[in-house]
Structure 1
Amino acid sequence: MSYLEYELSNGLRVILDRTESKVAYCGYAVNAGTRDELYTESGMAHLVEHLLFKGTKHRKAWHILNRMENVGGDLNAYTSKEETVIYSAFLVEHFSRAVDLLTDIVFHSTYPQDELEKEVEVIAEEIVSYKDSPSELIFDEFENQVFQDHPLGRDILGEASKLKTYRSEDVHNFTSRFYRPNNMVFFVRGNLSLKRVVNTLENFTKGIPSDVIPLFRESPVIIPPTKKIELKDTHQSHVMIGSRSFYQLDKNRDAQYLLNNILGGPGMNNKLNLSLRERNGLVYSVESNLTSYTDAGVFSIYFGTDDSDADRCIDLVLKELKEFRETRLTSLKLSMAKKQLLGQIGVASDSSESLALGMGKTYLHHRKCDSFETIYNKITSLTAVDLLNVANEIFDEDKLFYLIYK
């Protein structure tokens, strides 16, 4: 897989992955997420994502919703802690229509106050629903515990009480800082030439200011691990155990990725599932996860179980972590683990939408994208010693945080 790159005179970076498909994907990846909010702007990045569809200088909300729908296309967006992505899926013949609409909502949205107030009510309901789900809530609260008062620990949804105080000008203030061409990437995946992509973008972004706004992000410091137990009205105990891990471009990230897949990845044969569920019948599901940001990372294990079984489950988890720290994988087990992970990556890469979004996000932060061949070579070159070293770093019991809902 090869990518074509270009940078417009206004600073907008463009990346194209050419395919033979009649369906194409394109969008803007904006280098602005929850961690970029001021203390007084909690939830603003996510609120902007909602309001982008509610009216521009040229279109009403109804026209925005129908522009791609009328030709069978799709318009969507998501917000994370480090980026906001607005994108569309469509037949290749409607590429210009998609670029026109996406550019309009990204650069010319008006964020009307009446629509803002309605969307705040929608998000407030989302927050209530989210807080009613401890198996989801615990992930964000755990990150907040690990990053302690750093913006990376913030909840993406924000607080309803604060959201209700925001005015249209507050939203404009946020987007004026970050929604600039030099702080974005336009990504395309489809049967299109780079010339057509560039010409179309130059046409629709004409006149948009190209001034450079420097992006400043303070990296989170390492803090001592803590153990928190919160009493909640739940039917079972929900448990998170984890530590700080490696950032996106760290040399240990690939070994960490493989190690995590063996421990608690999506395969039913992962070590934690075999131990807690298959052998002992203590949980319905257990998983381990890695979240890698541009300058930090979090490793975590989650499971839900009967209150009476929580301590036993924790002991079993610690036993598995200890084994990884003390025992080097055999050549056969390492080879099997690599084949499983590469197969999962290959299957996942069959999704054009996921590939397009991943390409946009990666290029936004790192100005490069790894091909499957590059990833394959990185994974296959890992050694048992690489995994042992990573295990001793992130599975160290003295570095583990605990968050328990009872």
Structure 2
Amino acid sequence: MTSYQTAVLGNGLRIIALPTSSPVVYCGYQINAGTANELPDEEGIAHFCEHVTFKGTARRTALDVINCLEQVGGDLNAFTTKTDTVYYSAILKDYLPRAIDLLTDIVFHSVYPQKEIDKEVEVICDEIESYNDSPAELIYDDFENLVFHGHPLGHNILGKADRIRKFTTEDALRFTHRHYRPENAVFFAYGDIDFDSLLRLLEKENGTKVTKVGEMDKPDATVLPALNGYEPQTVRADKHTHQAHVMIGNRAYCVHDRRRMALYLLNNILGGPGMSARLNLALRERCGLVYTVESSMVSYSSAGIWSIYFGCDADDMDECMRLVRAELDRFMSVPLTADELSVAKQQIKGQIGIACDNRENLALDFGKGFLHYGWKKDITALYRDIDAITADEVQAVACDLFPEERLTKLIYA
């Protein structure tokens, strides 16, 4: 793989590019501003700003923004997570200057006109209501709010409709002036690009010169409010759904914790995307009790979360819980054999390699790592870390996270 190229502008904007032979360029701004950065009275504002950033700048109307890249067949998109907001495009390389001009304009020069907000806010509220109608999705946010209760990491990304309807131009400007700053962002690019030409385009659009090319200091760690103590709990909510929806999980490891890699492997064996995942075999293939069962993990800079989700007939819920508990107990009591560990490593490395063939996801992934940690995604190094995981480390993680008394449970029934 071609090496990453990096630089920084005088305004603090960091740049990372990965040249390839593809004529399609994926590029954009990743901003260190997600729901975890919201103040107590701002829940939902990060996602709100993502929507209304497209509604006009000092020199473009909302329609101008829509048409700018679509006229040449390009895509313009955005999304918000717990830790960042991303604005990006997919464009033929000949139109890269157009994409950079548009992206820079909307990220740093949007004006958030109230008349556009008044229209868009109902679109956002419709998105919230459609999400509320999808219990298999809603339960993830509600579960995180239980595990990180009282902390911004527990904020629902979409927020609540009654609060969203009160946000104004001034609210959007206040949040974006606080966070949408060049020194709090990176620009990433992946495709058939000349790095020097890319730097000249970014210098022009940002009105500042490159101050350094090559290796640079890692960014300062994002400072979030201190986490509250974790209190496991069981919560039942009546959502009037046909199925019972269940989540079981625990706080887990931050991105800097060396145990994270062992959990990464363990989670994939337990409930990863493969049909051979142990929970899928136990609940679906052998018993036919569920359509979906999966486990997931997310690691943030200061904390992490691990969870299991399944949906089933209400009458089958207790049996599903028993089967899940049996699989967790097995990991705690019986270490993986050498063959099981080898197959698990081979499987997850294959999944990583295939995932990296999705160029859009790879671009977004290396941009995020560079934004938060100054990392340059290195698949070979990741494979080495996976190969170094031992059966004892996997069992130790299971014994730390899986005990019944440490688990939070959320049940929609």
TM-score in terms of structure 2 length: 0.95
Is 1:243 equivalent to 2:250 in the alignment?
A: yes
Is 1:340 equivalent to 2:347 in the alignment?
A: yes
Q: What residue ranges of structure 2 are gaps of 5+ in the alignment?
A: 212-218
Please state how far the C-alpha of 1:283 moved relative to its aligned partner: 0.9
Number of residues of Structure 1 aligned to a counterpart in Structure 2: 404
Contact 1:56 1:105 in 2 (8 A): yes
Please state how far the C-alpha of 1:193 moved relative to its aligned partner: 2.4
1:376 alignment counterpart? 383
Deviation string, structure 1 residues 118-147 (Cα, Å, up to 9, x no partner):
111001111111111111111100000001
Is 1:316 equivalent to 2:323 in the alignment?
A: yes
Contact 1:20 1:191 in 2 (8 A): yes
- Which residue of 333, 342, 356 corresponds with 1:349? 356
Is 1:230 equivalent to 2:237 in the alignment?
A: yes
Q: How far apart in 2 are the matches of 1:232 and 1:166?
A: 28
Alignment of 1:267-278 (within 5 A): 267-278=274-285
Q: How far apart in 2 are the matches of 1:27 and 1:373?
A: 25
2:313 alignment counterpart? 306
- Which residue of 266, 278, 284 corresponds with 2:273? 266
Deviation string, structure 1 residues 248-297 (Cα, Å, up to 9, x no partner):
22211111111000000000010001101111111111000112112111
1:286 alignment counterpart? 293
Q: How far apart in 2 are the matches of 1:214 and 1:274?
A: 41
Please state how far the C-alpha of 1:393 moved relative to its aligned partner: 1.4
SS in 2 for 1:234: coil
Contact 2:233 2:409 in 1 (8 A): yes
2:62 alignment counterpart? 61
2:175 alignment counterpart? 174
SS in 1 for 2:256: coil
Contact 1:264 1:271 in 2 (8 A): yes
Q: C-alpha root-mean-square deviation of aligned residues, in Å?
A: 1.7
- Which residue of 367, 389, 396 corresponds with 2:403? 396
Is 1:386 equivalent to 2:387 in the alignment?
A: no
Please state how far the C-alpha of 1:372 moved relative to its aligned partner: 1.0
Q: How far apart in 2 are the matches of 1:330 and 1:15?
A: 41
Please state how far the C-alpha of 1:94 moved relative to its aligned partner: 1.1
Q: What residue ranges of structure 1 are gaps of 5+ in the alignment?
A: none
Contact 1:47 1:119 in 2 (8 A): no
1:24 alignment counterpart? 25
Report the residue type matching 1:332 in the other structure: D
Contact 1:178 1:213 in 2 (8 A): no
- Percent identity, please: 50
2:155 alignment counterpart? 154
Contact 1:219 1:296 in 2 (8 A): no
Q: How far apart in 2 are the matches of 1:315 and 1:240?
A: 14
Alignment of 1:90-239 (within 5 A): 90-206=91-207, 216-239=223-246
Report the residue type matching 1:61 in the other structure: A
Q: How far apart in 2 are the matches of 1:215 and 1:104?
A: 25
Q: How far apart in 1 are the matches of 2:276 and 2:173?
A: 49
Contact 1:260 1:289 in 2 (8 A): yes
Contact 1:264 1:270 in 2 (8 A): yes
- Which residue of 297, 310, 313 corresponds with 2:304? 297
TM-score in terms of structure 1 length: 0.97
Q: How far apart in 2 are the matches of 1:41 and 1:275?
A: 42
SS in 1 for 2:22: coil
Please state how far the C-alpha of 1:338 moved relative to its aligned partner: 0.7
Is 1:72 equivalent to 2:73 in the alignment?
A: yes
Contact 2:13 2:187 in 1 (8 A): yes
Contact 2:9 2:208 in 1 (8 A): no
Please state how far the C-alpha of 1:219 moved relative to its aligned partner: 3.6
Q: How far apart in 1 are the matches of 2:132 and 2:246?
A: 16
2:215 alignment counterpart? none
Report the residue type matching 2:191 in the other structure: G
Deviation string, structure 1 residues 161-188 (Cα, Å, up to 9, x no partner):
1111111011101100001110001111
Task: Flag as ranges the 4+ runs of structure 1 deviating above 6 A.
Answer: none
Q: How far apart in 2 are the matches of 1:193 and 1:399?
A: 52
Contact 1:15 1:360 in 2 (8 A): yes
Contact 1:146 1:401 in 2 (8 A): yes
Contact 2:149 2:228 in 1 (8 A): no
SS in 2 for 1:332: helix
SS in 2 for 1:39: coil
SS in 2 for 1:87: strand
Taking a change above 3 Å as real, the CA distance of residues 89 and 156 of structure 1, as seen in their structure-2 partners, is same
Q: How far apart in 1 are the matches of 2:262 and 2:132?
A: 34
Q: How far apart in 2 are the matches of 1:370 and 1:160?
A: 38
Please state how far the C-alpha of 1:40 moved relative to its aligned partner: 1.7
Deviation string, structure 1 residues 349-379 (Cα, Å, up to 9, x no partner):
0011001000111111001123111111111
Contact 2:11 2:208 in 1 (8 A): no
